[in-house]
Amino acid sequence: MNNKDFTSASFQEYLKQKKLMGVRCQSCGTLFLPPRPMCNHCFGEDLIWEELSGEGELTAFTTIHIAPTAMIEAGYGRDNPYCSGIVKLKDGVSISAQILGVDVDHPENIKIGCKLEVEFLERQVGDDNQAFLAFQTVD
Amino acid sequence: MKKKLGRGVAIVGAGMSNFGAFPGKATRDLFVEAFSDMIASVDKGLDPNDIEALYIGNYSSDLFEGQGHTAPFMADWTGLTPRPATRIEDACASSGVALRQGIIAIASGLYDVVLVGGIEKMTDLPTSEVTDTLATASDVLYEIPAGFTFPGFYAAMATAYMDRYGATPESFMRVGLKNHENGALNEKAQYGATIRQVMDSKIAKAKAKGRPEPTWADEMEFMHDDRANPIIAWPMRLFDCSPISDGAAALLLVSEDIAKSFSADPLFVIGTGQASDVALHDRQDLTTLRAAKLAGEQAYEMAGLKPEDIKAAEVHDCFTIAEVIATEDLGFFPPGKGYEAAEEGLTRRNGPKPINTSGGLKSKGHPVGASGAGQVVEIWKQAHGSAGERQAAHDVNLGLTHNVGGTGQTCAVHIFERR
Ligand SMILES: [Zn+2]
């Protein structure tokens, strides 16, 4: 299927192709997201990329009003908060991502356990066009 | 197998600078203040020439003040070169871990007298750059691109905790109220004022400027005011978050057999524990810090004690939710009951389990690399009955410190005994 290194650089390349890719250990079957070059369960290095379902649910979240520099440059901040959260995918692994489609002005109404699907964002960072992982609510 | 130290270690001196914002003072200047305060606490006197090595906790002088390789400067400014000086970095647990390294160095038999320090100078940078610098203690490849900040990580833990156990944002506000009550009695605290005093000063300021005076019915109404107590990362508001701080702390460690020649009442190190963990999103349970539980279990086992034996604890309340989780991870209260215990006043300084009598990181301040050593300064004072008005109601012969790095990827726990 491919022979990319199991690194964040490869993961980023896949995001640009709108693919959420994990890595599976062929020795013990453990699935990893994000990718890593060695299985930390059996120490095996016989790994393979695997495209994930992109479906999951919210396990924790926050709406951020005091933003880091990168998010301020993306237009967020005190007057325009955003939601970040942790998503547990159907595939069994979890990841941090920006959460879209929720009511950031009423965080008390955002529901842990709500269904989400993957979304790929692109943002200009300096001279670079970078891809970012996000999840969108499904109704 | 039960772990034990190769030989006993005691703390015979503990001091700190004021915590706050000190323009023009570098970490080395603050460390000198902590060092002098420490020497003054050694009741039988210290010849600084007896110190054999330094272990200095510091998170990021590189990014905060553009100064790398900080440990030798601490040795120089305290007159201790050419002794070995080593910097320890484990995010906000840096000086809790430096303490552990100092303990291990003495227990190994290599040194008899060691200086452990903690330093941080955060206020030179604007808030957004402080936020960025702190964020480098999380996963810059996979957590930062998601937009997370440190208040954000702990806020996310808070939403998971509320969802599972029924706590509310008010539960956390009460932790902040309690820590400000304690901090108001700590002359070294950065925000040494009760929430009532904060409200009164805001009302007085409005009056002086001829603006409409705020009319909060009570502290909780103030805490809900979006202007007075703005949301940082929901449900964490300003008064749920520790401040941006400068400060330093210094501890004198010696081998047990010579401790009495420095102090009539040494504080013996009877338990030490440390553990690491994965990034937040990789954890099975977001309502507990596994590293803290494990570090606590190691320390209790070494000390031969149970959580109920501890008379007072300084825990890592970088955010109010973190104090609630800490009191559960350390076994003071069952999982999901820490917020109720705080609401019932069990953790106040006149309660059965005083937590953060110093005011905690919330009120005292959180110069991140100095916080772990600073916690020990408070246990030293509580154990010697020298905490003044904030002295716990009962005798503190057994105290504990709990120092967390990052989102809980590092935790160091120590238990101390005054015999
Ligand atoms: Zn494997």
Q: Are residues A60 and A42 in the same domain?
A: no
Q: Which two tokens stand for residue B89?
A: 């970095």
The residue annotated as part of the active site, out of B92, B241, B318, B411, is: B92
Residues A122 and A72 in one domain: yes
**pLDDT tens, residue by residue, B37-81:** 999 999 999 999 999 999 999 999 999 999 999 999 999 999 999
Q: Are residues A79 and A132 in the same domain?
A: yes
Residues of B in contact with A70 (CB under 8 A): 132, 144
Q: Looking at the structure, do residues A72 and A28 belong to the same domain, yes or no?
A: no
The one-letter amino acid code at A113 reads G
* Domain identity same for A47 and A70: no
Same domain, A60 and A114: yes
In whole angstroms, what is the distance from residue A81 CA to residue B234 CA?
A: 10
Cα of A88 from ligand 1 centre, angstroms: 21
Q: Which domain holds residue A73?
A: 55-137
Rounded to whole angstroms, the Cα distance separating A22 from A49 reads 6
Map residue B127 onto helix, strand or coil: helix
Instruction: Please give the ipTM for the structure prediction.
Output: 0.97
Is there a single domain that holds both residue A36 and residue A59? no
Q: DSSP states of B258-326 as a string?
A: GGGGT-SS-EEEEEEEEEE---GGG-S-TTS-HHHHHHHHHHHHHHT--GGG--EEE---SBHHHHHHH
B180 is catalytic: no
Contact between chains at A86 and B286 (C-beta distance less than 8 A): yes
Write the CATH number for A123.
2.40.50
* Domains: count for chain A: 2
Residue-wise pLDDT for A25-62, tens only, equals: 999 999 999 999 999 999 999 999 999 999 999 999 99
Q: Are residues A76 and A130 in the same domain?
A: yes
Give the closest of B131, B141, B233 to A62, CB-based.
B233
Domain boundary among A51, A68, A88: A51
Give yes or no: residues A46 and A59 share one domain. no
**What is the residue-wise DSSP string for B168-235?**
-HHHHHHHHHHHHHHHTT-TT-TT-S-HHHHHHHHHHHHHHTTPPPP--SSHHHHHT-TTTS-EEEET
- Nearest Cα of chain A lies from the Cα of B162 at a distance, in angstroms, of 10
A38 and A63, same structural domain? no
Same domain, A61 and A125: yes
Report how far residue B7's alpha carbon sits from residue B366's, in angstroms, rounded to the nearest whole number.
32
- Shared-domain flag, residues A67 and A108: yes
pLDDT tens, chain B, 419 aa long:
678 999 999 999 999 999 999 999 999 999 999 999 999 999 999 999 999 999 999 999 999 999 999 999 999 999 999 999 999 999 999 999 999 999 999 999 999 999 999 999 999 999 889 989 999 999 999 999 999 999 999 999 999 999 999 999 999 999 999 999 999 999 999 999 999 999 999 999 999 999 999 999 999 999 999 999 999 999 999 999 999 999 999 999 999 999 999 999 999 999 999 999 999 999 999 999 999 999 999 999 999 999 999 999 999 999 999 999 999 999 999 999 999 999 999 999 999 999 999 999 999 999 999 999 999 999 999 999 999 999 999 999 999 999 999 999 999 999 999 99
The yes-or-no answer on residue B384 being catalytic is: no
CA B204 from chain centre, in angstroms, equals 32
The last residue of a domain, from among A11, A30, A51: A51
Distance from chain centroid for Cα B406: 13
The answer to whether B380 and B418 have CB atoms below 8 angstroms apart is no
**Which two tokens mark B264?**
């009539």
Q: Which residues of B touch A21 (CB under 8 A)?
A: none
In angstroms, rounded to a whole number, what is the distance separating the alpha carbons of residues B164 and A91?
Answer: 23
Report pTM: 0.97
The shortest CB-CB distance from B152 to any of A62, A113, A133 is to A62
Among the candidates A36, A51, A66, a domain finishes at A51
